[in-house]
Amino acid sequence: MIAELISVGTELLLGNILNTNAQYLSRELAELGITVQRQSTIGDNPARLAEWVQSAKSRCDILIFTGGLGPTADDLTKETVAACYGDTLQFDPEEWAKITGFFARTGRAATPNNRKQAMVPVNGRKIPNSCGTAPGVWFEQNGKIAVLMPGVPHEMKTMWSKTVRPWLMQHSNCTLVSTTLHILGGESAIENAVGPLLEAENPTAAIYCKTGECEIRITARAATVEEGEEMCRTSAAKFYEILGDAIYDENVPSLEHTLVQLLNEKQLTLATAESCTGGLIAQRITAVPGASAVFGYGFVTYWEAAKAKLVGVDPAVIAQYNVVSAPVVAQMALGARAAADADLAVAVTGIAGPTGGDEQRPVGTVYLAAADRSNAYVMHINISRNNREVVRQRAAGYALEMVWRLAKGLPLNGCTALSAAQAAEPAALQALAEACAVPVAARRF
């Protein structure tokens, strides 16, 4: 099945809005086995739109529209497409009641223009909109389909997943089951490691990448949900065999969600002490609903004096080893844990740039420590991107990963331990500094 996406809206052509709908729908359609051959964005011009729809209709099986369902006079998408699919529109009292009800609840009155939004196809179907006023529409003529959805992303996504996707699956008479694996590491390294598995036809596996981590989405087409789930499990097992514990979770929004859930399960609390990340780690943790069950204290110790005062770093250790050093980050983590009386703590100090680097500590130099009641585990890395935002984001990602591994009882590869009892002992700090003198190579991938 061949599809084209058509986004309607002058605001897109002016660059006022970023078109995220096209990416979302393209991913979804790829998963349904529907090939997207073209994405277009056009303005609210009925003549050009009609011409475009006629030619696109001849090229492909399904046209998917977003936008152009608004109440204003220039929103003529629905009328235009109806004509191209041999359909007409009629007034739907039920939709009108929804629209007037919506306005009444927000203390306003619907205008005559809004009646346009209550027009639905005579032959085709209306698609319920549970988040807004304008229903979507589905036209069909000689096996060719046109689907019109709102342009507002959350309205569109809800309409898609609740109604349009299930209808398309009925249409193709199959069941789809998906599982997403979340993996720590960079895209090209992961792709190299699992390359052939990404070529599979059913289940398919597609890789998507974000800063410091990737997702692999496995999708099986099957006769039943049970069969599809089994196929996904078999495929996932092959990825686990290669990637091991680099796969930190399945079907979660983010690493911090996984961490907060793990800490919850293990009844562990966490504190943070941040220098170069400046609150980013705490912010990511507290972005998770319910984080307050495991997180109570975060220290942003941007100045040396703050490191001494809030988390008990010894100023002499800063003077001897530099504030960006293994002994300092170890004392930050152990001190934050103690100051918060938490079970675990994580700390980071480094040079985010753009200035402040030198030959010994170039921009991107970062020291991290994760601590429990017995030890601090310290890692020295170089995030070799001369970009403040990237250095901070990746440092926060490493920090979350280290705590996750510590809480889960996984080995902390590349880390050197300092016992809490020896945190003030010069010989132990010297040994730690020496062991961490060279940054560790990129982790696992």
- Residue 18 or residue 109: which is nearer to a copy of itself going by CB? 18
Residue number, 120 or 263, with CB nearest to a copy of itself: 263
In the β-sheet with 175-184, what is the strand arrangement from edge to edge?
A: 204-210, 213-222, 175-184, 247-250
- State which of residues 85, 248, 295, 404 lies at the interface with a copy of itself (CB under 8 A): 295
SS3 category, 201 = coil
What part of residues 371-430 is at the interface with a copy of itself (CB under 8 A)? 388-389, 392
Buried b (16+ CB within 10 A) or exposed e, 189-207: ebbebbeebeeeeebbbeb
**Nearer CB in complex with a copy of itself: 16/192:** 16
Q: How far is the CB of 313 from a copy of itself (least distance, A)?
A: 14
Whole-angstrom Cα distance, residue 321 to residue 79?
72
281 belongs to the binding site for a copy of itself (CB under 8 A): yes
Rule CB under 8 A: say whether 14 interacts with a copy of itself.
yes
- Smallest separation, CB 4 to a copy of itself (Å): 10
Question: By CB neighbour count within 10 A (0-12 exposed, 13-18 middle, 19+ buried), where does 79 fall?
Answer: middle
Q: Say which residues have a Cβ less than 8 Å from residue 292's Cβ, sequence separation at least 6.
A: 286
Binder among 64, 69, 119, 291 for a copy of itself (CB under 8 A) = 291
- Smallest gap from Cβ 176 to a copy of itself, in A, equals 15
Q: Let me know the angle formed at the C-alpha of 67 by 15 and 6, rounded to the nearest 5 degrees.
A: 80
Pairing of strands 270-274, 344-350: parallel
Between residue 207 and residue 246, which ones bind a copy of itself under the rule CB under 8 A? 207-208
User: How far does CA 286 lie from the centroid of its chain?
Assistant: 16
Q: Can residue 161 be called a binding residue for a copy of itself (CB under 8 A)?
A: no
409: left (phi over 0), alpha (psi -120 to 50) or beta: left
Binding part of the chain for a copy of itself, among 8-16, 69-77, 343-351, 417-425 by CB under 8 A, reads 8-16
- Structure letter (DSSP) for residue 443: P
Nearer to a copy of itself, 275 or 422 (CB): 275
How far apart CA 76 and CA 178 sit, in angstroms, is 37
Among 188, 211, 292, 386, binds a copy of itself (CB under 8 A): 292
Q: Does the footprint of a copy of itself cover residue 301 (CB under 8 A)?
A: yes
Residue 12 Cβ, how far from a copy of itself at the closest point, in Å? Answer: 7
Q: Minimum Å distance from CB 435 to a copy of itself?
A: 27
- The verdict on 316 binding a copy of itself (CB under 8 A) reads no
Half-sphere exposure of 196 (CA within 13 A, CB side): 2
Q: Is 53 in the site for a copy of itself (CB under 8 A)?
A: no
Q: Distance between CA atoms of 27 and 49, rounded to whole angstroms?
A: 25
Which one of 15-23, 164-172, 227-235, 432-440 is the stretch in contact with a copy of itself (CB under 8 A)?
A: 15-23
C-alpha span between 380 and 439 (Å, rounded): 5
Contact region with a copy of itself (CB under 8 A), list: 23-31, 67-75, 134-142, 260-268: 23-31
Residue 144 sits in the site that holds a copy of itself (CB under 8 A): no
Is there binding between residue 351 and a copy of itself (CB under 8 A)? Answer: no
Candidates 65, 85, 248, 297: give the one binding a copy of itself (CB under 8 A): 297
Sequence-ordered list of residues with C-beta below 8 angstroms from that of 339, at least 6 positions apart, any chain: 271, 297, 299, 310, 311, 312
280 binds a copy of itself (CB under 8 A): yes
What is the smallest separation between the CB atom of 172 and a copy of itself, expressed in angstroms? 18
Instruction: Return the exposure string of 314-343: e unless at least 16 CB atoms fall within 10 Å of the residue's CB, then b.
Output: beebbeebbbbbbbbbbbbbbbbbbbbebb
- Residue 267 found at the interface with a copy of itself (CB under 8 A): no
Show the tokens assigned to 307.
Answer: 């490191």
Where do contacts with a copy of itself occur on this chain (CB under 8 A)? 12-20, 22-30, 35-43, 48, 206-208, 272, 274, 276-283, 285-287, 289-292, 295-303, 305-306, 309-310, 340, 353-355, 388-389, 392
